[in-house]
Structure 1
Amino acid sequence: RFIIFLSIPRQLALKKLKKRFLEALLANNAQEVLHILHTDKLDIDTVLEVDDPSMVLASYKQGYWLPGYRLENSWATGIHVCVMYNALETALVLLQAGAAVNLRPNGKTPLHVACEVSNSDCVALLLAHGAKINTLSLSGHTPLHYCITKESVVCAKQLIFKGAKVNVSSHNNDEDTPLHTAARFGVPELVSLYMAHGASVNAVNSFQETPLMTAAFWAYDSKEQTYSEDHHIVSRILLDHGADPNLQEEDHKTALHKAAWNCDHVLMQILLEAGADARAMDINGCAPIQYLLKVTDVRPLAIPEVCYQLLLNHNAARIYPPQFHKVLQSCYDYPRVIEVMVNSYEHLKPTKKWRAAIPDDCYKRHKVFYDSVFGVCTNTPRTLLHLTRCAIRVSLRGFCHRGVPQLPLPSLMRKYVLLEPEGMLY
């Protein structure tokens, strides 16, 4: 009991000293930092408790259970704090005084942190003082994996110049390469940099996903319901460097399946023009057009009719006619989609399920259109113009995207053959 009593004042004194030290670091007060180290004899590599709600300093192994309070703060050395808050002068003082450059008290080295906060000056300083380039964080990532913004491109260049491996996989359940990470966050400049330094464009992670598949999936922000032009550019860069659009991940989905799931007509066109197979099936036998049907009514900013046009003009298999009511169930509030789909058949015979698939209020909103649908989908043939369109499409064997532009037809007729919707059927 007496020993414990004596140690309490010492603990309080050390706590106050650490607080002074942290305040000096945050203020980039190099003189005060040196004074504390030399006068008060504080260990230069002492571990501090730092507010870190964004987990910039922390890295944990996958599967670890973490109490909630630990996510609000992290453990860090003085170098970590300097890097996080861009206290460059103080960081230099600490390094010159012998501070360890590769410690990771809460899973990350200072170099990992410098890359995550896109601090290229600190990256240069750390590399000049012996920071390990390919060291792993506790979660299994190299510093290059933490370069995830346009501002971190300079950091990545410095790492590569010093020998960072662009094809190293993360040592965790994902096994992503830095190229996967750049594709996920949609940073064209990083993707171009990695490709220029020998990154494997068709590298696969533990789920057999390529960087192209990663970019296709993350091109849509489901929370904001927006599409990312940067991810489209990343996909184009990868394809220009030989990415295979028809590789399949562990569930046999291709990049086109993922773009169709997002109802992303821009990316779908990029992939289809690069040779993506519109008929590729996943492990459940679903082609990209089935993915479109599942999400048409939950992608408010999409232009779904363009997605269907693209697939049908690139040889996608049409929905089995007796199952056409499922198209109506998914797309009843999108007449232009229904029109594109109906016009891809020479003739469709409705079933009792058709009308039941369309809610009454929807039918009333689009009465003129749906009256035209049920008017042409009868036992009588459709117009000669439509039958001619179907004959042209059949003769082109589904590859209308290449054949129709070469036909000596007026522009309006080409659009008609390519299923451009007009607002009603006839």
Structure 2
Amino acid sequence: MGNITRRGSRELAAEGTKPPEEGPPAALHTRLYEAIMREDRSAIQALLRSHPVNQPMTILANSISYRVLLNQTQSIIPIHLAVEFCKAQSLLCLLEHGADPEVRDTRGLTTLHLMLLHWPIISTIRTKPGNRIQRILTDIQNNAMMCLRILCEHGAQVNAQVDNSNKHSPLHLAITYGTYPVLSILVQNGAYVNAINESSMTPLHMAANILNKEMMEMLIACGANVNCAVSSTGNTALKLAVCTASSKAGRLLAAGVSCIRLLLIHGAKVNARDHKGQTAIHEACFGGREAIINLLLEFEANVNILTRNGESPIYMYLQRSSNIRDTGLLAKLFYRSYPLRLTNNQGILPAGIMLPEFHLLRENLIKLSQKPLSLEDICKRNIRNIYGEKYKQHLKQLLPVQIWNSLYGYYDLAYLLI
């Protein structure tokens, strides 16, 4: 079954462990190992009379018939073996005989953590309904879900953090390893949906950062705070999603717009600022992806807000030469900006328009930034900023055609190059 993979299945043995001699203890460990893999409850119960349920088994690879992962001497706690291979009946038997779901391995992982790390990831393959392979894959997923429910019913701590530098909770692990089906079960059993890890990121921050809409929807439905900010940076889920969607990969894959809209619809503050004073529109303008900029404008993003260093969204847009060549989008930002702020607090112009090919554009934009606007132009820009893209069509029905065209008729800035 090459299409089934398990995560985190290496390094189970403590370093430096010496192989045991083939003797009574080794034979007992081998029999217990195989009984767990066979889900032979009677054999497990009998063997536990001689082997403490929470004591590790040390197994020689050449002494067992199950060689799925073992290619050397390894040590593993019985309950951990049961969850790694989704042996639900063995797991239940071990718990009924005193197995501690909170016992940790050498990496600081509890049984629930290991359950999530070893969750079966099923490749997407085309099979007919009722196909034998499809039935096998469904059974594997069902066994994993059964194991998770058994753990939760027997008191597994759904908010226990991994004892390492990440301090991930089970929900964080579920996001990291893409185990979407477990989110609702964890929350139903008391998992804190706004838990933070060592980096002060919530599960929603992590899901937004990788643009996983399915997980984002589930977390929001479970009460995730869409405006929670990462304490170290001030980033919200919206800012993280915009950053990823505006990246080169995001543009190539045309990804993330639906994730951003999801956050905005559920109350994400479009003008929330991080510790540098940047907002989502700053990030979007730097990325130069029109669909995202338009979406933020639709939800009333402020194109005149400045960072702590005095950088406007149009300043961020002009940082990159690839953005400047899209004069249509530049015109849309230009006709919303007032006052037109081209420099930062140090008087430095954006790097993009400093290139020789944009010499004429640079000179003309500087002149425009220094020239006072007419009262009519100021009013137009204020109306565009107040009503934004969201009510653009509504205004079209209310205003005379000539007035509406004067408000929303953006002109190509190509004339500035002359």
Bin for the TM-score computed over the shorter chain: 0.5 to 0.7
Please state if 1:131 is matched with 2:156.
yes
Please state if 1:211 is matched with 2:211.
no
Instruction: Give 3-state SS (helix, strand or coil) of 2:114's partner.
Output: helix
1:127, distance to aligned residue in structure 2 (A): 0.7
1:131, distance to aligned residue in structure 2 (A): 0.8
1:262 partner amino acid = G
- Contact conserved, 2:145 with 2:182, CA < 8 A, in 1? yes
1:220–1:413: structure 2 CA closer, same or farther, 3 Å change rule? Answer: closer
- Paired residues in the alignment total 348
Q: Which has the higher contact order (CA 8 A, sep 6+)?
A: 2
1:161, distance to aligned residue in structure 2 (A): 1.4
- Contact conserved, 2:20 with 2:58, CA < 8 A, in 1? no
1:210 partner amino acid = T
Partner of 2:40: 31
CA separation in 2, counterparts of 1:280 and 1:224? Answer: 25
CA separation in 2, counterparts of 1:271 and 1:240? Answer: 11
Please state if 1:92 is matched with 2:76.
no
- Contact conserved, 2:384 with 2:407, CA < 8 A, in 1? no
CA separation in 2, counterparts of 1:132 and 1:235? Answer: 32
Deviations 1:49-84 (A, max 9, x none): 99xxxxxxxxxxxxxxxxxxxxxx997534334434
1:187, distance to aligned residue in structure 2 (A): 2.5
Partner of 2:287: 262
Q: Which runs of 5 or more residues in structure 2 are unaligned?
A: 1-16, 60-72, 121-143
2:312 partner amino acid = A
Q: Which deviates the most, 252-261 or 123-132?
A: 252-261
Pairing 1:264-303 to 2, within 5 Å after superposition? 264-297=289-322
CA separation in 2, counterparts of 1:85 and 1:305? Answer: 57
Give RMSD over aligned pairs: 4.7
CA separation in 2, counterparts of 1:280 and 1:415? Answer: 21
Partner of 1:186: 211
1:320–1:140: structure 2 CA closer, same or farther, 3 Å change rule? Answer: closer
CA separation in 1, counterparts of 2:90 and 2:80? Answer: 11
- Contact conserved, 2:113 with 2:162, CA < 8 A, in 1? yes
- 1:312 is aligned, of 334, 340, 344, to 334
1:308 partner amino acid = L
1:270–1:225: structure 2 CA closer, same or farther, 3 Å change rule? Answer: closer
Deviations 1:154-200 (A, max 9, x none): 31111221222222322x2x212222222223233333333333332
1:188–1:177: structure 2 CA closer, same or farther, 3 Å change rule? Answer: same
Partner of 1:113: 114
1:240, distance to aligned residue in structure 2 (A): 1.6
Pairing 1:341-380 to 2, within 5 Å after superposition? none
- Contact conserved, 1:264 with 1:307, CA < 8 A, in 2? no
Percent of residue pairs identical = 22
Deviations 1:332-382 (A, max 9, x none): 48x9xx87x899788699xxxxxxxxxxxxxxxxxxxxxxxxxxxxxxxxx
1:260, distance to aligned residue in structure 2 (A): 2.5
Alignment TM-score, normalising by the size of structure 1: 0.64
CA separation in 2, counterparts of 1:74 and 1:240? Answer: 51
CA separation in 1, counterparts of 2:177 and 2:406? Answer: 42
Partner of 1:102: 102
2:381 partner amino acid = R
